[in-house]
Amino acid sequence: MTSSSPPSLLDLKSLLPEELRTLVRQLGQEEYRAGQLLSWIHGKGVEEVDQMSNLSRAFREQLKARATLSRLREVERQLSPGGQAIKFLFELPGGERVESVLILDGKRRTACLSSQVGCPLDCKFCATGRMGFIANLKAAQIVDQLLQVGRALLAERGERVSNVVMMGMGEPLLNYEELVRALRLMRLEHGPAIGGRKVTVSTAGYVPGIRRLAREDLNLGLAISLNATTDELRDQLMPINRKYKIAELLDAAAEYFSLRGRRVTFEYVLLEGVTDADEDALRLAELTRGVPCKLNLIPYNELAEDTPFRRPPADRIARFRQLLENHTPMAVTLRESRGRDIDAACGQLYQAQERRRRAAPAG
Ligand code: SF4
């Protein structure tokens, strides 16, 4: 006797408008139903097909036979004592966990989303890097972070998410197809409608991904974590540099600007005694001279436990910034991590939660 496995179900939350139109046509329905589905999924954020009350019961049954509506399970939420960040931990069906952060900054409401569970790139100052790579997120799981964070913001404050940054767990450009699909879904007018200038993708320097993104019609902001001014140091801090050197990265950044017309932001983490020397400031100015860009300094967000890195003292941070400003025509900003008080570096909430899980008595 042979057994055939059931056909796999589509995930409605992952489908682009043209794919939904194809699906509704296949089910014998009019195309405008695709717009209704998009509104229910990405606008109203329903959890079940049966909540789509303007669809006939027969159509809902047809849909359920072909597709599911996936959803992440929220397992923890932390508000920072200063009230500037809310951090969410979500569980995937297999039990893996990812985190998202809502950053409240002036009028901006920025959702910082994850693209992978863990990360393969092993940057030495990063909590997520220490987890190793566990899984790529599906487009629906990237979108669902935004939908759930957005619903929480609307329910608690009556506000809407204004910006998205792909700076949570993972290297977004190593999950390219799902990332781009998710970004296309986020900008639909039926849903959060966040696109173009309101979205920034952050990369550790995966050059083929940068060049590919430069050729998309998405016009996204691009942030590149540079964090070192010599290949020798960057090879150690960010192993991806062994494959894609600083010169190649700068070249890709320049190409991004020339194709998209958008200045790249170089992120630079200040690590005491490692990346915060006067010579580093001067080299950073020199290296980036030929690339229209912004320079963003980020004093290290110290982890509670075993990290060899320290945040530089305030006077060193100020001197680095001043030196850089004196030697570059580019805009220089200093970003304090909003969530310093709530485990808000990428991977820290996850790790804190795992520690608590391991410490909890079994049973
Ligand atoms: S900094 Fe980003 S790319 Fe590097 S290990 Fe962490 S999550 Fe991955």
Mutate to test the pocket of ligand 1, among 179, 303, 337, 346 (most ligand atoms within 8 A of CB): 346
Return the residue whose CA atom lies nearest to atom 7 of ligand 1.
170
- Residue 165 and residue 55 share a domain: no
- Residue 189 and residue 337 share a domain: yes
Average pLDDT of span 358-363: 47
Within a domain: 168? yes
Secondary structure percentages of the chain, helix, strand, coil, to 5:
45, 20, 35
- Residue 271 and residue 210 share a domain: yes
- The number of distinct structural domains making up the chain is 2
First-last CA distance in the chain = 42
pLDDT at 141 over 60: yes
**pLDDT score of 308:** 85
Average pLDDT of span 12-30: 97
- Residue 257 and residue 119 share a domain: yes
- Residue 248 and residue 195 share a domain: yes
Give the atom of ligand 1 at the shortest distance from the alpha carbon of 122.
5
| Structural domain range at position 228 | 73-359
Give the atom of ligand 1 at the shortest distance from the alpha carbon of 129.
5
Q: Is any ligand 1 atom within 6 A of the Cβ of residue 119?
A: yes
**pLDDT score of 96:** 94
How much distance in Å is there from the Cα of 196 to the middle of ligand 1?
A: 23
- Residue 137 and residue 274 share a domain: yes
Mutate to test the pocket of ligand 1, among 119, 130, 244 (most ligand atoms within 8 A of CB): 119
Q: Is any ligand 1 atom within 6 A of the Cβ of residue 112?
A: no
Last residue of a domain, one of 53, 68, 83: 68
Q: Is any ligand 1 atom within 6 A of the Cβ of residue 285?
A: no
CB of 190 closer than 8 Å to CB of 35: yes
The overall average pLDDT reported for the chain is 90
pLDDT higher at 127 or 270: 270
**pLDDT score of 188:** 95
- Residue 225 and residue 168 share a domain: yes
Model pLDDT for residues 66-101, shown as the tens digit of each residue: 999 999 999 999 988 788 899 999 999 999 999 999
Angle at the Cα of 224 (from 263 to 138), degrees rounded to 5? 110
Give the atom of ligand 1 at the shortest distance from the alpha carbon of 238.
4
Q: Is any ligand 1 atom within 6 A of the Cβ of residue 223?
A: no
Mutate to test the pocket of ligand 1, among 128, 137, 179 (most ligand atoms within 8 A of CB): 128
| CATH code assigned at 99 | 3.20.20.70
Within a domain: 1? no
Within a domain: 6? no
- Residue 189 and residue 47 share a domain: no
| CATH code assigned at 63 | 1.10.150.530
- Residue 251 and residue 208 share a domain: yes
Q: Is the dihedral of CA 229, 230, 235, 241 positive or negative?
A: positive
**pLDDT score of 86:** 93
- Residue 285 and residue 234 share a domain: yes
Q: pTM higher than 0.75, yes or no?
A: yes
CA–CA dist 75, 173 (Å, integer): 27
Tokens found for residue 81: 């004592």
Average pLDDT of span 119-142: 93
Q: Is any ligand 1 atom within 6 A of the Cβ of residue 204?
A: yes
Q: Is any ligand 1 atom within 6 A of the Cβ of residue 346?
A: yes
- Residue 139 and residue 29 share a domain: no
Question: Catalytic site residues?
Answer: 99, 346
Last residue of a domain, one of 49, 68, 87: 68
Q: Is any ligand 1 atom within 6 A of the Cβ of residue 167?
A: no
- Residue 138 and residue 63 share a domain: no
Within a domain: 350? yes
Within a domain: 4? no
Residues 6+ apart with CB under 8 A from 315: none
CB of 288 closer than 8 Å to CB of 330: yes
* Position 357 confidence tier, pLDDT thresholds 50, 70, 90: low
